[in-house]
Amino acid sequence: AESAQTAEAQGDKIAGGTCSFSPDTKVLMDHGKTKAIGKIKPGDKVQAADPKTGKHQGTRMVTATWVNHDHDLVDITIRTPDGGTATLRTTANHPFYDKSTHKWTPAAKLLPGHDLQTPNGRGLVRVKKITLTIGTAFRYNLTVEQLHTYYVLAGKVAVLVHNTCGEVPYNSGGLATKAFQHRLNTVGATLRNVAVAKVEGREGLAYGISKGDEFHAEDDILSQLNPGEKITELYTERQPCPRCAGRLADHLGGDASISWSVPWGDPETELGGLINTQSNARLKDMILRAMGI
């Protein structure tokens, strides 16, 4: 990734995660103006919202800009209030505020028929379809002070997005490196998923390894928890699948964080299957490069 404040890095060493938009995507700025995300600089002010409620909170300063070389490309076709359509070119993991559920939802998991949040909360801005785009492209993201949210324009209508997601570079320190070290000592270069968690009240870490379609790395970690124990931080090489995400929810501490290095979709859907095939290839390449092979 390339930051306006840091040196350039290549490949999958992506600072700030891979939540991002095509460089021509318009962002809602101070005084109601718009600017292509690829031209925004630190110090510019963007319109932002409360990440907990989705309510507009005025302007906040951009503290950093990012350029990501992304693989998980997604096009979101949106029905606009005038009856037309507009397309946002983003990445699978970029969080949008789903007005229908009042939750932050990764782009690839938005459902057709659901509405997105606008600055004034009015106007029908509805998801029409999600399309996975095969290939790679440069995508841009911002870091926004305090609220970590901003608005991108679908046609002439602004919709709310978050500036962070859970994707982190592979073997990039912290739990991500602990997981890679555990992989070296156990499953080597196989594609079995490896996860590692910090558990409240424990000094050591809990490690998990997938053992097939019915027993994922997250299942392995959950099986090691004692009654009442909560996970405070979790890293898993692949993003938790919908089933694991549901199971994890009951075992997370209030401020728990979850991170991963490749996205993972619902294997029961065509889009999810395509994302997962692409992510497996990416993860294999990441593992081999980290091992120096």
Mean pLDDT of 83-103: 93
d(CA 274, CA 9): 27
Give the pLDDT mean for 100-127.
92
Percent of the chain residues topping a pLDDT of 70: 93
Locate 272 and state its tokens.
């999810």
The number of CA neighbours under 13 Å toward the Cβ of 208 is 27
Mean pLDDT of 251-280: 82
User: In which residue ranges of the chain is CATH 2.170.16.10 found?
Assistant: 2-162
> Pairing relation of β-strands 231-238 and 252-262?
parallel
Q: What pLDDT is attached to residue 227?
A: 95
Say what the pLDDT of residue 115 is.
Answer: 97
| Rounded alpha-carbon distances, angstroms, from residue 135 to 69, 120, 201, 258, 275 | 11, 36, 44, 27, 11
Which residue's structure tokens are 């809990």? 206
Q: How confident is the model at residue 102, as a pLDDT?
A: 92
Predicted pLDDT of residue 242: 80
Domain with CATH 3.40.140 in the chain: 174-290
CB of 152 within 8 A of CB of 75?
A: no
In this prediction, residues 213-217 reach a mean pLDDT of 94
Q: Which of 68, 48, 54, 55 is nearest to 145 (CA)?
A: 48
Read off the pLDDT of residues 122-135 as tens digits, 9 standing for 90 and up: 778 999 999 998 88
Q: What's the distance, Cα to Cα, between the start and end of the chain in Å?
A: 23
* Confidence (pLDDT) at 3: 34
- What the block records as the tokens of 9 is 């890095």
Q: Which residue has the tokens 């290095």?
A: 261
The DSSP result for 69-89, as a single string, is EES-EEEEEEE-TTS-EEEEE
pLDDT higher than threshold 90 for residue 266: no
The predicted pLDDT at position 237 comes to 97
Could you tell me if 235 and 175 are in contact, meaning their C-beta atoms sit under 8 angstroms apart? yes
Q: Which of 3-7, 41-45, 161-165 has the highest mean pLDDT?
A: 41-45
Q: Give the chain's mean pLDDT.
A: 88
pLDDT digits (tens, 9 = 90+) for 145-156: 888 899 999 999
Euclidean distance between CA atoms 21 and 65, whole angstroms: 12
Q: Note whether 49 and 38 are within 8 A (CB).
A: no
State in words which class domain 2-162 has: mainly beta
More confident residue, 166 or 101: 101
- Assess contact for 158 and 182: CB atoms under 8 A: no
DSSP codes of every residue in 201-224? T-SSEEEEE--STTS-HHHHHHHT
pTM: 0.59
Residue 217 to residues 107, 162, 231: CA-CA distances in angstroms? 24, 28, 14
Is it the case that residue 165 has pLDDT exceeding 70?
no
The confidence band for 14, taking pLDDT boundaries of 50, 70 and 90, is very low
Q: Quick one: fold of 174-290? A: Cytidine Deaminase; domain 2 (3.40.140)
Exposure string for 260-286, b = 16+ CB within 10 A, e = fewer = bbbbbbbeeeebbebbbebbeebbeeb
Q: Is the model's pLDDT at 2 over the cut of 50?
A: no
Whether the Cβ atoms of residue 122 and residue 56 lie closer than 8 Å to each other: no
Residues above pLDDT 90, as percent of the chain: 59
